[in-house]
Amino acid sequence: MSLRDIIVALFILGSLPLCFRRPFVGLLLFSVLAYMRLQDLTWGFAREQRWSLLVATVMVAGWFAAREKYPPVLSLRTGLLSFLVLWIGLGHFFAHGDAPIEWVGYIEYAKIVFIAIFTTALVRTREQLRIVVWVIAMSFAFYGVKDGVQGVLRGGALYIIRGPGGMIEDNNDFALVMAMTVPMVLHLALSERNPTLRRGLKVMAPLSAFTVILTRSRGGFLSLGVAMSVLVWRSRNRLMGILFGVLAAGAILAASPDEFWERIRTISTYQQDGSAMGRIRAWQVAGRMIEESPVTGMGLRRFQSNYLEFEPNPTEEQLAGEGTLVAHNSYLQLAAECGLPALLAYLALFAASFLDIARIRKEAARRYFASWMLSYCTLFEASLLAFAVGSFFLNLAHFDLGYHLHALVLVFGRVARQEMRDEVRYPVRRRGGRGPLVARKGHGFTSPGARVRGFRKTALAGEG
């Protein structure tokens, strides 16, 4: 038992009453435990406890006990999420092979989807959305800054071979999350008016990007390139955005170790790379599984147990049962294990989220020259697209952050549309009334007499 274990345990246990009284606080604490992996920073008893389950239970109990509460949002996306849970559960009854049914894995997956849907019930306002995005971004940026600074001090000699734990323990998964963190922290900076916060966030972005390089992950590098491309394309001054993007990328790559460049060069010579060819063979095996059972699949987490049956030329290592036999592709993984209906529902989630972002951007761009809405559109678009590209090389079909982002985009759409409707109905804000929030120089949005904090905000297009 260490002092750090005691501090973490007391912090979580001491927060439980507040999580019960205010379930939104429970969601924030749950996000810290899920993404920052606070418990993994300890070495004793606190590391082994199921804190996330405890916090989630208290949070849900508090929501049920509250006098005033909102139900989860009923929409196409929450319907798709619910369908995935039901369909994958049904697939257990048609599982292929003799391996035991993965009920524990299914419960974990259902819990991930439940938290995503539950988020739509707790996050109802712009300020709550802002806080949740901040907590998620800072949970990942903590490692981006920590590892990025170490990499700079060591002249790029740091080699990150594993992430903090949980679903980002693998270095490739960790690299993808760091690539998704870059647009988060950068556009949080652009949507904030507090100069200290903006400067701090702008420092976090390049350090998080450099952390991707330090993992030597080719998939992470591609995801980072996609995220940076979206940021440049969506910049207000595209020419300056391209110039800044080139300079930033040049500075990061100039500090990159030689091992990273050797790793990247193997992309063009994948035929001679054992790792790349292993992925291609895994994709072929996944295709055979889909052909064998296209509707219900092999069963959740049964790709590995059925691998040899669908691999005509297994290696000696595979025959010996060594190594992890996975699909190395989230989409093929989902189709092979859970069937094509699950894959179509999963892809429909992305389509619905990207379409929602595009619609909000179109309406906000018509109204504003600059707005927190436009910044958040780019934030979600770049992070989701980086995740979609990175998932092509990783097993992340059951990654909690992906589902959580879809829920946050749903909340964002609801909040943004409500604000734009209110600005039409209440063009002038009276004391105690409703209407557009007033921007204060150097800080953010606020109502007259309120404490100064928050987003950047500009007038409607065409107004003085």
In the predicted model, is pLDDT for residue 428 greater than 80?
A: no
What is the structure's pLDDT at 461?
Answer: 39
Judge contact between 149 and 208, C-beta under 8 A. no
In the predicted model, is pLDDT for residue 436 greater than 50?
A: no
Average pLDDT over residues 286-297: 94
In the predicted model, is pLDDT for residue 6 greater than 50?
A: yes
Mean pLDDT score of the chain, rounded to an integer?
85
Choose among 186, 225, 191: nearest CA to 202: 186
What is the structure's pLDDT at 127?
Answer: 94
pLDDT in tens, 24-68: 999 999 999 999 988 888 888 888 889 999 999 999 999 999 988
In the predicted model, is pLDDT for residue 449 greater than 70?
A: no
In terms of Cβ atoms closer than 10 Å to its own Cβ (0-12, 13-18, 19+), residue 29 is: buried
Average pLDDT over residues 223-237: 88
In the predicted model, is pLDDT for residue 230 greater than 80?
A: yes
Judge contact between 337 and 296, C-beta under 8 A. no
In the predicted model, is pLDDT for residue 207 greater than 50?
A: yes
Choose among 32, 179, 128: nearest CA to 408: 128
Rounded CA-CA distance 48/39 in Å is 8
In the predicted model, is pLDDT for residue 443 greater than 50?
A: no
- Ranges 115-124, 362-371, 438-447: which has the least confidence: 438-447
In eight-state DSSP terms, residue 289 is H
Q: Is 27 helix (H, G, I), strand (E, B) or coil?
A: helix
Choose among 177, 74, 161: nearest CA to 120: 74
